[in-house]
């Protein structure tokens, strides 16, 4: 997990281009999403974190975004109700 407040914009862009970062997350809401998600683009920089994979996000205790990751969110909801 990479906190955006601890990395400069140039290094962040390089990491995204090199596919070292593929998902973003909100540390306050514990939600992860794709880098193109409208919800994710609106979050404050100090709350933003990045993940290499969905597995990394899940292991860190984050849930999928219901806006851009509808199928993964539905599976997460179903697993919570069991």
* C-alpha distance across the termini of the chain, in Å: 29
Provide the pLDDT for residue 34: 92
Domains and CATH numbers, the chain: 2-81 (3.40.10.10)
State the average pLDDT over residues 50-56: 93
Provide the pLDDT for residue 53: 93
Give the tens place of pLDDT for each residue, 62-80.
999 999 999 999 999 998 8
Above 90 in pLDDT, residue 5? no
* C-beta of residue 41 within 8 angstroms of C-beta of residue 28: no
* C-beta of residue 10 within 8 angstroms of C-beta of residue 41: no
Give the tens place of pLDDT for each residue, 17-49.
898 888 999 999 999 999 889 888 888 889 999
Provide the pLDDT for residue 82: 63
């Amino acid at each position: 997990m990479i906190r955006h407040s601890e990395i400069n914009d140039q290094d962040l862009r390089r990491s995204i281009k090199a596919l070292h970062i593929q998902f973003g997350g909100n540390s306050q809401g514990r939600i992860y999403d794709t880098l193109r998600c409208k919800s994710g683009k609106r979050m404050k920089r100090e709350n933003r974190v990045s993940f290499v994979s969905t597995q990394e996000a899940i292991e860190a205790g984050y849930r999928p975004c219901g806006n851009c990751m509808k199928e993964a969110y539905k599976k997460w909801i179903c697993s919570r109700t069991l």
